Amino acid sequence: MEISLVFIVLVLCSSATLATCSTAGFRMELTHVDAKGSYTAAERVQRAMASTRQRLASIADVSAPVHWNTTQYIAEYLIGTPPQRAEALIDTGSDLIWTQCSTCSLHGSCVKQGLPFYNASKSDSFHPVSCNDTLCLANQEHTCAKDGSCAFGAFYGAGDARGSIGTEVFTFENGSATLTFGCAKTLLISPGALDGASGLIGLGRGPLSLVSQTGATKFSYCHTPYLRSNTTAGASSHLFVGASASLSGGSPVMSMPFVEGPKHYPFYYVPLVGITVGHTRLSIPPSVFALKKNGDGGVLIDSGNPTTALVNEAYWPLRKELGRQLNGSLVPPPAGNGMDLCVAVAQEKTVPSMVFHFSGGADMVLPRENYWVPLDNSTSCMVMDNTTGLSIIGNFQMQNKHLLYDLAKDELSFQTADCSSL
C-alpha cells in the first residue's frame, strides 16, 4: 500500500503586489516529501509520527516564534529574471520566505538540494533591501550589514538560517509576484531537514508570509487521503489563496473563531473543548485545551504537521476509552514502530469514529480512516500521539476535510468533502 503523491494548486490574486496575474491566479504543484522514496506504508507512517514528535519538540524547546522543523510538502517555482528553478517546503506554521543562495558556498555552509542554488547576481529583478526599510523591520530578527543592507536571522527547531533580505520576482504556474524573501547564505540545520528543497515558504500570520505579502484575506486547502486505496489514483490535494478560497455546497459547513495567540507568533490556534469516541463524550475539562495567558498550552491546527498529538491529559482518557470499546479486538503493535493501539486488519470496522468538539458548536467528525491506518496486511494502528505543553491537529486527521481560513473574520470553517474532486 502506498501513500499517494500530493499535488496542491495555489490560486491567488492581489493587485497590490502581483507583477502579473491571470484570471485564474497563481498555481503551484506540491509533492509529498516522501514521494521520491520507496517507503512502505509502515515506514511512511513511522516517518510521519517521528516528524510530529520533532515538530512538537522544536515548539516546546525554542523561544523564537517560528518553529519550522520538518514539514510535508514541497513546491517547485521559478525565481528571478531570467528565471531560475527552485523548490520550497510549504508550512502554515511559519512566515518567512527564503531560499539558499549561491554565496552560501563561499561560507561552506550550503545544505544539499536537488536544484542549483539561486544566484542573485544573475537576476535582473533582484533588489537588496536596506536595513532601515520597513520590509527589513518586518522580520523579527534583523540587523544592518556593513554595506547598509538588511541581514536576517531565522532560528528554528531544525537549526538556523542567516542571510540578507531582498525582493525578487517569483513565478508560479500561471502568474508571478514580486516578494520580499531571505537570500540564505549560512544554514546550520539538522541533516535532511530540507528534504532536498531549496528553502521555505511560510503561510503563517506574520507580515512576510506568502499569504500576507499577497494581501490575501483567506485561504483554503483540502487533503486527499494518504493511502491510494482510499482515493482516486493520481488525485490532487489543493490549496487556494485569495478570492478562489471558498467552501462549496454539499455537506454542512461548521465555523469557529480562532483563538488569539501570543503576539508575533505565526500559528493558528483553535478552540478545541472536548472529544467524543463512538457515542461516549470523554470527561476532559476544556481547560486542558486552553491557551494560557503566558502563552503555554492551547491547540494548533497545522498543515505542516503530519499527525495529531494531544496533551497527556487528553490522550490517556482517549486511549483508555478506545481500549474499552475495542476490548478483545486489540493486538500488540508490531515491534519497533512506536505505535500504541492496534487491531487486526480484519477488525478495523470495530474502530469507532471520533469527534473533535470546538466552541460555538462546531463538531468535526473523524471517520476511522482519519486516525487509524493499516501498517501491513495484518495490523492496523492508531495514528495519534501524546505530548506535553500544547496539542496539534495534524493533516492526517484532516483527510477529506476542506478547511477555510478567513483572516478578515478571524475564523476557521470546514466541511467534509471529496478532496479528489475539487
Give catalytic residues, as residue numbers. 91, 302
Beta bridge partners of 259: 269
In the block, cell 547576481 appears at 121
Query: Mind giving me the DSSP string for 334-362?
Result: PTTS----EEEGGGGGGSPPEEEEETTS-
For 49, list phi and psi in degrees, rounded to 5.
-65, -40
Instruction: Say which amino acid occupies 100.
Output: Q
Query: Mind giving me the DSSP string for 177-208?
Result: EEEEEEEEEEEEE-TTTTTT-SEEEE-SSSTT
Exposure of 147 in the CB half-sphere (CA atoms within 13 A): 7
241 by DSSP, 3-state: which? strand
Instruction: Say which amino acid occupies 347.
Output: Q
132/152 Cα distance (integer angstroms): 13
